[in-house]
Amino acid sequence: MDTPKNPTLLERIRSRRLTATFLLLATFSVGILAGSVLTHSVSGKEQVVDTSDARPLVIPSPKELSNGFSAIVKQVGPAVVNINTESLPKQSANKTPRRRGQTPRGGQPGNDDNPSQGDMQDFFNRFFGGQGGGDGDDDGPAGSERRALGSGFIVDSRGYIITNNHVVDKADKIYVKLSTDPDGGPGDQGRAARVVGVDKDTDIAVIKIESSTPLPTIKLGNSDSAQVGDWVLAIGSPFGLSQTVSAGIVSAKNRSIDEPSPNGISQSQFQRFIQTDAAINPGNSGGPLVDLGGNVVGMNTAIYTQSMGSQGVGFAMPSNIIASVYNMLIGPEHKVTRGSIGISFQPAVSSAVGRMYGFTNGVIVATVSPTGGAAKAGLEPGDVIVSIDGRNIKDGDDLVNDISARKVGSSVKLGYIRSGKQNTASVLIGDRAKTYADLAGNDGDDNAAPQESDAGQSTLGITVSAVPPPMLKKLNLTGGVIVTSVRPGSFADEINLNKGAIITTINKMPVADEASYKAIVSKLKSKDDVVFVVHYPQSTGNTYVGGTLP
């Protein structure tokens, strides 16, 4: 008969391990069930908490807790406007000549697929090479309509607005929106504006809108009173976001951003900026920089950036310069005239140069225009100008500021050093635009060309001069006048009457010379149809352009 065997040690261990496993699983199950019951109990208690003793939150009455910035914004904000411009598609170079360089100064706006591209350009191209010649062809993508944004501020209740020239330069259409204007949707661009006058040397423009009621205005302050460390506010439309305000301080004054041309002549002689760390971005261009009194001390013009955004270094044109330029632009000629003696000079020289040539303060002449007053008075390259009418000058800026403010046709007594000897000369003040062109080596014979005529400036928006005889012979013409400038936004600008066009007929009446041109134009009046027959040196045959005077 078989007898049962005693379990081995291994079998007993296995049996106990299985029992322990079951006990562990049972313990976990009990814990999970207990947790669920407790959680349900807590949740139920939260739902029945008595909140009768809780007090509702109350929004307090508005209180003025600001440092005064908000009061300034309320005061000046209504006079700050949003400016948007359009440049229409242009014909290619092999077609009939039309207006050239249509891209707004400082920007090459993208097409509608990338509208922000235009917004991003007004400062960055302005500061890194976008200033360049408005006379160059720049038609951009064929068939594309280009837009740019900027800011401005109203200084006259009749609708006169100050902004940057690069905001409106070469624009076909300019629109202005006030902060009080209703938002009419995507198609509502604002009020049509026209250009009164521009000054490229300071990048200042004056435009005008019509209004049946007086418009809110902002006052210009004295920029000489602005001190480094003063609080300032920048107001404008960065990235199209109108009525945006940023605060900062004046971080420097009399800052020069000098970019000399290849021949060494400064391209920004009259641009001496207020530097600020108030946030300025694309679209702020042309907006005001105001002090804590609510007065404009500068106009936001450029930024220094390496990241396509504000880095705390912005530049504003001082209000004292703005006021001087504005007063000339609203005058009968709508242009800025500055005095010049017809020289160029090196902005800064080392002390060794001064010791070698025997001067501590003064300007050493680099080049002399053969048609300028300095040449006619006997000044030569290497002469050191040390005084003006007996007043010692500090440097080139001092010389330019003094001479440019003088009336064309007046004379000035200059003290200068040549070969270590003191000399004086009476120098006639000329028009800087003409002497500068001569120094820059522009094409054209200034000696042979007569003075430009301003006839038609107010009516047509152009200036003309006699056609040089060699050009008449080359084009087989017997007479005419050549267009030497076209005011942006003028009647001539709108009908595509370009600079360089030779006008031979107006309304079927021959234009033989400046006298006949003046006689015809003087009889034109509003609502008249005006048709020009013009010739272009680069094309053959007659070109007919015309329109109805506004």
Q: Which residues are catalytic?
A: 166, 203, 285
Spatial distance between the Cα atoms of 330 and 336, rounded to a whole number of angstroms: 10
Six-digit token string for 76: 């000046």
Six-digit token string for 217: 């205005």
Q: Evaluate whether 269 touches 436 at the Cβ level (below 8 Å).
A: no
Give the bridge partners for 425, in sequence order. Answer: 414
State which H helix or E strand residue 375 sits in: helix 373-376
Give the bridge partners for 496, in sequence order. Answer: none
Spatial distance between the Cα atoms of 487 and 208, rounded to a whole number of angstroms: 14
Burial 394-415 (b: 16+ CB within 10 A, else e): eebbbbbeebbebeeeeebebb
* Residue 368, Cβ density class (10 Å: 0-12 exposed, 13-18 middle, ≥19 buried): buried
Q: Which among 114, 228, 122, 213 is positioned nearest to 166, based on CA atoms?
A: 122
DSSP assignment of 317-337, as one string?
EEHHHHHHHHHHHTSTT-S--
**Other residues' Cβ atoms within 10 Å of the Cβ of residue 108:** 19
Q: Which among 129, 125, 394, 366 is positioned nearest to 265, based on CA atoms?
A: 366
Long-range contact set of residues 137-141: C-beta below 8 Å, sequence gap at least 24: 137/93, 137/100, 137/101, 138/100, 138/101, 138/102, 138/103, 138/108, 139/89, 139/90, 139/91, 139/92, 139/93, 139/102, 140/87, 140/90, 140/102, 140/103, 140/108, 141/111
The count of C-alpha atoms lying within 13 angstroms of the C-alpha of 301, restricted to the half-sphere facing its C-beta, is 30
